[in-house]
Amino acid sequence: MDNSKSNKEIMNNEFIKNLMITSEKGKPLYKEDINLLLTDSNDEVRKKYQTLLQGLKALKDYSYNGTPLIDLFMIYNIIVNKNRYGVERMTEIFEDFILDYDSKNMNSSFLTRYLINLGEEDYNK
Protein backbone atom coordinates (compact mmCIF):
# COMPACT_ATOMS: atom_id res chain seq x y z
CA MET A 1 0.00 0.00 0.00
CA ASP A 2 1.43 3.38 -0.91
CA ASN A 3 2.14 5.88 1.85
CA SER A 4 -0.27 8.59 0.70
CA LYS A 5 -3.15 6.12 0.58
CA SER A 6 -2.36 4.71 4.04
CA ASN A 7 -1.98 8.23 5.50
CA LYS A 8 -5.40 9.16 4.12
CA GLU A 9 -6.91 5.95 5.54
CA ILE A 10 -5.38 6.66 8.94
CA MET A 11 -6.72 10.22 8.99
CA ASN A 12 -10.19 8.88 8.10
CA ASN A 13 -10.06 6.25 10.85
CA GLU A 14 -12.89 6.87 13.36
CA PHE A 15 -10.62 6.46 16.37
CA ILE A 16 -8.15 9.02 14.98
CA LYS A 17 -10.84 11.43 13.73
CA ASN A 18 -12.43 11.60 17.18
CA LEU A 19 -9.18 12.00 19.06
CA MET A 20 -8.98 15.27 20.98
CA ILE A 21 -6.13 17.06 22.72
CA THR A 22 -6.92 18.44 26.13
CA SER A 23 -4.72 19.74 28.92
CA GLU A 24 -4.19 18.62 32.49
CA LYS A 25 -1.86 20.59 34.76
CA GLY A 26 -0.47 22.32 31.67
CA LYS A 27 0.38 19.06 29.90
CA PRO A 28 -1.34 18.03 26.66
CA LEU A 29 -3.35 14.80 26.80
CA TYR A 30 -5.05 12.75 24.10
CA LYS A 31 -8.60 11.59 24.73
CA GLU A 32 -11.65 10.51 22.80
CA ASP A 33 -14.66 12.78 22.38
CA ILE A 34 -16.89 10.66 24.64
CA ASN A 35 -16.56 9.63 28.28
CA LEU A 36 -15.25 6.08 27.94
CA LEU A 37 -16.38 5.29 31.49
CA LEU A 38 -20.03 5.74 30.48
CA THR A 39 -20.10 3.59 27.36
CA ASP A 40 -23.28 1.80 28.48
CA SER A 41 -25.15 4.99 29.40
CA ASN A 42 -27.36 4.98 26.29
CA ASP A 43 -27.62 3.51 22.79
CA GLU A 44 -26.02 6.51 21.09
CA VAL A 45 -22.93 6.40 23.33
CA ARG A 46 -22.73 2.59 23.03
CA LYS A 47 -22.86 2.87 19.22
CA LYS A 48 -20.18 5.58 19.25
CA TYR A 49 -17.98 3.43 21.51
CA GLN A 50 -18.30 0.46 19.13
CA THR A 51 -17.34 2.72 16.22
CA LEU A 52 -14.26 3.94 18.11
CA LEU A 53 -13.36 0.38 19.06
CA GLN A 54 -13.54 -0.78 15.44
CA GLY A 55 -11.36 2.16 14.41
CA LEU A 56 -8.83 1.30 17.09
CA LYS A 57 -8.76 -2.35 16.00
CA ALA A 58 -8.14 -1.23 12.41
CA LEU A 59 -4.95 0.54 13.56
CA LYS A 60 -3.29 -2.89 13.89
CA ASP A 61 -2.82 -2.75 10.12
CA TYR A 62 -0.72 0.43 10.20
CA SER A 63 2.65 0.99 11.76
CA TYR A 64 5.19 3.68 12.55
CA ASN A 65 8.83 2.55 12.38
CA GLY A 66 7.64 -1.07 12.54
CA THR A 67 5.40 -0.65 15.59
CA PRO A 68 1.64 -1.02 15.04
CA LEU A 69 -0.23 2.22 15.76
CA ILE A 70 -2.54 0.42 18.17
CA ASP A 71 0.49 -0.57 20.26
CA LEU A 72 1.73 3.04 20.25
CA PHE A 73 -1.61 4.18 21.69
CA MET A 74 -1.41 1.43 24.33
CA ILE A 75 2.13 2.50 25.23
CA TYR A 76 0.97 6.12 25.43
CA ASN A 77 -1.84 5.13 27.79
CA ILE A 78 0.51 3.11 30.00
CA ILE A 79 3.07 5.91 30.24
CA VAL A 80 0.80 8.94 30.50
CA ASN A 81 -2.28 7.50 32.22
CA LYS A 82 -0.51 4.66 34.06
CA ASN A 83 -3.23 2.41 32.56
CA ARG A 84 -5.69 3.82 35.12
CA TYR A 85 -9.34 4.51 34.48
CA GLY A 86 -10.73 8.02 34.30
CA VAL A 87 -12.90 10.38 32.29
CA GLU A 88 -9.99 11.69 30.21
CA ARG A 89 -8.16 8.36 29.85
CA MET A 90 -8.29 5.72 27.14
CA THR A 91 -7.80 2.70 29.43
CA GLU A 92 -11.42 1.53 29.08
CA ILE A 93 -11.21 1.06 25.32
CA PHE A 94 -8.17 -1.21 25.62
CA GLU A 95 -10.00 -3.79 27.79
CA ASP A 96 -11.06 -5.81 24.75
CA PHE A 97 -7.40 -6.25 23.81
CA ILE A 98 -6.50 -7.83 27.15
CA LEU A 99 -8.87 -10.68 26.42
CA ASP A 100 -7.04 -11.79 23.28
CA TYR A 101 -4.41 -13.72 25.27
CA ASP A 102 -3.17 -16.97 23.81
CA SER A 103 -0.06 -18.35 25.52
CA LYS A 104 1.08 -19.98 22.29
CA ASN A 105 0.48 -16.86 20.21
CA MET A 106 3.06 -14.13 20.51
CA ASN A 107 0.72 -11.97 18.45
CA SER A 108 -1.34 -11.30 21.56
CA SER A 109 -1.82 -7.60 22.10
CA PHE A 110 0.99 -5.47 23.43
CA LEU A 111 -1.16 -4.67 26.47
CA THR A 112 -1.73 -8.36 27.22
CA ARG A 113 1.98 -9.10 27.01
CA TYR A 114 2.76 -6.05 29.18
CA LEU A 115 0.28 -7.07 31.89
CA ILE A 116 1.58 -10.65 31.91
CA ASN A 117 5.17 -9.44 32.28
CA LEU A 118 4.14 -6.98 35.00
CA GLY A 119 2.36 -9.76 36.88
CA GLU A 120 5.36 -12.05 36.58
CA GLU A 121 7.68 -9.28 37.86
CA ASP A 122 5.40 -8.67 40.86
CA TYR A 123 5.15 -12.41 41.54
CA ASN A 124 8.93 -12.86 41.44
CA LYS A 125 9.60 -10.06 43.94
Query: pLDDT class for 95, splitting at 50, 70, 90?
Result: confident
CA angle in degrees (0–180, nearest 5) for 96-33-49: 35
| 10-63 pLDDT tens trace | 999 999 999 988 888 888 888 888 877 877 788 888 899 899 999 998 998 888
Nearby residues of 76 by Cβ (< 8 Å), 6 or more positions away:
30, 90
For residues 83 and 118, the answer to whether their CB atoms sit within 8 Å is: no
The whole-number average pLDDT for the span 75-81 is: 87
pLDDT of residue 70: 87
Flag whether the pTM goes above 0.85: no
What average pLDDT does the chain have? 79
Percent of the chain whose pLDDT exceeds 70: 76
Judged by phi (left if over 0) then psi (alpha if -120 to 50, else beta), residue 25 lies in left
Query: pLDDT class for 2, splitting at 50, 70, 90?
Result: very low
Domain ranges in the chain? 3-124
Residue 66: count of CB within 10 angstroms of its CB? 5
